[in-house]
Structure 1
């Protein structure tokens, strides 16, 4: 049994008169609006069809599964990433790619949930990869893969940390500072045991920056490491 073709490699149904005209573009736009408002878990073919005023079965002419829909949604967000136009400075280009990915993922919080794992193969995602790999020029392929993998892991990890903190605030109704105050007496008691000297130093001297504040300094440390490897 042959594997089904990727959704981008399957033609859409021919246009026909209908009270509610459909297209993959309209379906994806409705799904993204739903995910932005209610989260990825709220996205279903039934809800997307209802948002479009169409019957759920009509969507199956355009997509076969919810996974197809997620693939199309992810690729649409990749299409929003403003990629550098030149590849003359790999460090500047990678910094711009990281910032743009961060920006788009914070606008579409569900996007980070679908990053990682197997690579996305939609046309916008492939263009994203093409530009990212091209920034390294004619360097060793294995080094490029390690460097880009490290960058991608950092951006995804930072995004998920930032979004987890944001979701915790929504769930508890407490800001990070307010939550920390509730845990202060317990942490002070544990630190007083003398078993956690490194942690005690951090707690005494840190300003407790939020993930967004940490993103740029952490990115620069990573880029320093890539520069050292490329050298």
Structure 2
């Protein structure tokens, strides 16, 4: 029986009240501060001031805990809007916002489908907003948006982590490596790249994300029956 269907043990007021919700909230707090490496049943139990064995009545494995954490964050991912484009846009934007709030989410999205109630509710809302569009279009359209969002979110998170590791923000990185690129481009070996760097648009992360999303949505719209 999956964790979503398995009943919780009866409440025990001492030494500390416990529930799956409290366990998941504690795990999310740990992950938000120190990443997924900070999450284990032992560390979560310490955060709740209970013995690790008490948690096993609620959660059998760390994998179940991670599934519950992802589903808890999916309560923050809420597609809204009357039409398909608005629903898919809000799905993308709120997923990105959730990953900025909970950076560890980028490590867990994009794998096997999540089956928790919050995740299923979000998916149902998106499909409902697609209205009468044929499923032959709806299914790959939603998959395309999800693939774009997962890739974009993971890239943003990877860049932030690289900044922390290197100690250089984007401007400092450009100052450090700019002279090398100028010397390389001056050889004439990479004319297309040189033109992009010199003449291309320099978008901030928000503009980059939203522009790419509009490209995906425009492609979907082009496939819809007129």
The bucket for the TM-score relative to the shorter chain is over 0.9
Give the Cα–Cα distance (whole angstroms) in 1 for the partners of residues 63 and 136 of structure 2.
Answer: 31
Indicate if the aligned counterparts of 1:112 and 1:156 stay in contact, CA closer than 8 A.
yes
Partner of 2:111: 117
Indicate if the aligned counterparts of 2:78 and 2:122 stay in contact, CA closer than 8 A.
no
1:64-143 aligned within 5 A: 64-84=60-80, 88-143=82-137
Give the Cα–Cα distance (whole angstroms) in 2 for the partners of residues 35 and 28 of structure 1.
Answer: 10
- DSSP 3-state at the match of 2:4: helix
Question: What does the per-residue CA deviation read over 1:12-57, in whole Å, with 9 as the maximum and x for residues that have no partner?
Answer: 1011231111100000000000000000121111100000000111
Give the Cα–Cα distance (whole angstroms) in 2 for the partners of residues 194 and 153 of structure 1.
Answer: 36
TM-score by length of 1: 0.93
Partner of 1:177: 171
Indicate if the aligned counterparts of 1:158 and 1:211 stay in contact, CA closer than 8 A.
no
Question: What does the per-residue CA deviation read over 1:197-231, in whole Å, with 9 as the maximum and x for residues that have no partner?
Answer: 11010110235333333111111111111100123
Question: What does the per-residue CA deviation read over 1:83-124, in whole Å, with 9 as the maximum and x for residues that have no partner?
Answer: 31x5x3111121112111111111111112110121100000
Cα RMSD for the two superposed structures: 1.3
- Offset of residue 173 of structure 1: 1.2
TM-score by length of 2: 0.95
Q: 2:44 aligns with which of 23, 41, 48?
A: 48
Partner of 1:161: 155
Partner of 1:200: 194
Give the Cα–Cα distance (whole angstroms) in 1 for the partners of residues 139 and 114 of structure 2.
Answer: 16
Indicate if the aligned counterparts of 2:3 and 2:59 stay in contact, CA closer than 8 A.
yes
Structure 2 unaligned residues grouped into runs of 5+ = none
* Structure 1 residue runs of 4 or more that deviate by more than 6 Å after TM superposition: none
Give the Cα–Cα distance (whole angstroms) in 1 for the partners of residues 206 and 152 of structure 2.
Answer: 8
Partner of 1:8: 4
Give the Cα–Cα distance (whole angstroms) in 2 for the partners of residues 136 and 207 of structure 1.
Answer: 33
